[in-house]
């Protein structure tokens, strides 16, 4: 089921009667009204912005619109700018748009992942003395496991998992350089003012790599272990926290005080660019409570 910039599919699964009065724009003063959606259907109160198209399938909300467009699906208009919202996701790029006035004025918190190659120092064991019988270069133990061999005489050595210094034969070993993949997992805060989109701040939650060594230790892995983010606003203070796969919040969070921000009463789902790892627009749930 698809909803686009020029088409809205009307459904009755979540009718206005099932939504809180303040969420649907009623002037009655309810206490902490809430809203939740598991994206079974896209209803008429969903409004796609920034020339985007959205669809749901198997309780997953997705968009084929390029992340570079910053597509937004505005899902309701609350009666408060102080909210707590939690959004469930499984990748980089999606997030929660809030204080939304129109497609050119909003704030958003999203996941952001990178994968890049980096150099590191491999492990270096001890120097192994050369066998004294010529030809010297043929007598290094397990020659396939060594980076260099003896070239001219028994005073030189072979290095176990290291590099001879100087290269080609020497009396000392140094770590050989290697290449590995580094994975970094962030949460970012964005804003759009009069159509100009900028990153406000970010926090690094996890940093993993494809291989470790004693000389360049790191945590080996490539999974994000992030299944959602929570955004809470109180006055001009914005707090963004990430939730792990065990539904516990990370201890590190964004806490940012906006200076004279323009605030709208709308909010919704956004898909943002820039990630080089696990980029996907899939969102499975959104929950919002007005404070």
Residues 228 and 145 in one domain: no
Q: Are the C-beta atoms of 175 and 163 separated by less than 8 Å?
A: yes
| Same domain as 154, residue 66 | no
pLDDT of residue 5: 45
Number of folded domains that form the chain: 2
CB 69 within 8 A of CB 52: yes
Pairing type for strands 228-234 and 196-209 reads unpaired
Does residue 244 lie within any of the structural domains?
A: yes
* Statement to judge: residues 108 and 147 lie in one domain: no
CA 61, CA 93: separation in Å to the nearest integer? 13
Q: Is the CB of residue 207 less than 8 Å from the CB of residue 217?
A: no
Q: Are residues 237 and 216 in the same domain?
A: yes
pLDDT of residue 141: 44
190 lies in a domain?
Answer: no
> Is residue 191 predicted with pLDDT exceeding 80?
yes
Q: Which of 31, 40, 23, 93 is nearest to 271 (CA)?
A: 93
**pLDDT value of position 30:** 41
Q: How confident is the model at residue 215 (pLDDT cuts 50, 70, 90)?
A: confident
To the nearest whole number, what is the mean pLDDT of the chain? 77
Better pLDDT: 35 or 216: 216
Q: Is residue 22 part of a domain?
A: no
Question: Do 45 and 93 have their domain in common?
Answer: yes
| Residues 42 and 150 placed together within one structural domain of the fold | no
**pLDDT above 50 (res 228):** yes
Task: Please give the torsion angle defined by the CA atoms of residues 29, 34, 39 and 45, in that order, rounded to the nearest 10 degrees.
Answer: 10
Single pTM value for the model: 0.76
Domain limits for position 152: 124-174
Do residues 8 and 93 both lie within one domain? yes
Distance separating alpha carbons of residues 209 and 291, to the nearest angstrom: 40
DSSP labels, 137-157: GG-SSSGGGBS----S-TTSE
Q: Is residue 88 part of a domain?
A: yes
Phi-psi group of 110: left, alpha or beta (phi > 0 → left; psi -120 to 50 → alpha; rest → beta): beta
Q: Is 219 exposed, middle or buried (0-12, 13-18, 19+ CB in 10 A)?
A: exposed
- With respect to residue 187, please indicate whether it lies within any of the assigned structural domains: no
* Token pair in block for residue 22: 């303040």
> Which phi and psi (to 5°) does residue 170 adopt?
-165, -170
Q: Is residue 194 part of a domain?
A: no
Q: Is residue 101 part of a domain?
A: yes
pLDDT in tens, 128-174: 554 444 444 433 444 444 444 444 444 445 555 555 554 444 555 56
Confidence of residue 39 (pLDDT cuts 50, 70, 90): confident
pLDDT confidence of residue 158: 52
Answer with the residue of higher pLDDT: 215 or 238. Answer: 238
Do 213 and 266 fall within a single domain? yes
Choice among 93-107, 147-161, 170-184, 186-200 with the minimum mean pLDDT: 147-161
Supply the pLDDT for residue 109: 96
Position 84 in a domain = yes
Whether residue 261 has pLDDT greater than 90: yes
* Residues 106 and 9 reside in one and the same domain: yes
CATH number of domain containing 39: 2.60.120
Question: Which of 84-88, 142-146, 173-177, 264-268 is least confident?
Answer: 142-146
**Same domain as 66, residue 42:** yes
pLDDT (0 to 100) of residue 140:
43
What per-residue confidence (pLDDT) applies to 249? 94
Same domain flag for 216 and 268: yes
Residues 109 and 216 in one domain: yes
């Amino acid at each position: 089921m698809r909803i686009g910039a020029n088409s809205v599919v009307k459904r009755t699964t979540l009718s206005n009667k099932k939504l809180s009065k303040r969420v649907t724009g009623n002037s009655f003063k309810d206490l902490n009204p809430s809203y939740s959606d598991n994206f079974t259907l896209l209803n008429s109160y969903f409004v796609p912005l920034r020339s985007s198209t959205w669809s749901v399938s198997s309780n997953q909300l997705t968009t084929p619109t390029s992340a570079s467009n910053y597509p937004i699906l505005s899902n309701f208009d609350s009666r408060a700018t102080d909210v707590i919202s939690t959004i469930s996701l499984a990748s980089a790029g999606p997030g929660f748009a809030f204080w939304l006035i129109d497609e050119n004025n909003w704030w958003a918190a999203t996941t952001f992942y990178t994968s890049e190659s980096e150099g590191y120092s491999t492990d270096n064991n001890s120097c192994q003395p050369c066998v004294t019988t010529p030809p010297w270069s043929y007598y290094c133990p397990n020659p396939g496991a060594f980076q260099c061999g003896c070239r001219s005489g028994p005073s030189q050595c072979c290095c176990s998992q290291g590099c001879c210094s100087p290269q080609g034969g020497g009396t000392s070993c140094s770590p050989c350089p290697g290449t590995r993949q580094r994975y970094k997992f962030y949460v970012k805060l964005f804003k759009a003012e009069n159509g100009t989109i900028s990153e406000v701040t970010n926090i690094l939650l996890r940093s993993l790599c494809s291989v470790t060594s004693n000389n360049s230790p790191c945590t080996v892995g490539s999974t994000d272990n992030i299944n959602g983010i929570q955004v809470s606003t109180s006055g001009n203070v914005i707090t963004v926290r990430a939730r792990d796969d065990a539904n516990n919040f990370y201890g590190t969070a964004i806490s940012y005080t906006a200076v004279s921000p323009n605030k709208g009463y709308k909010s919704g789902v956004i898909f943002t660019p820039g990630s080089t790892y696990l980029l996907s627009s899939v969102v499975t749930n959104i929950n919002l409570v007005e404070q």
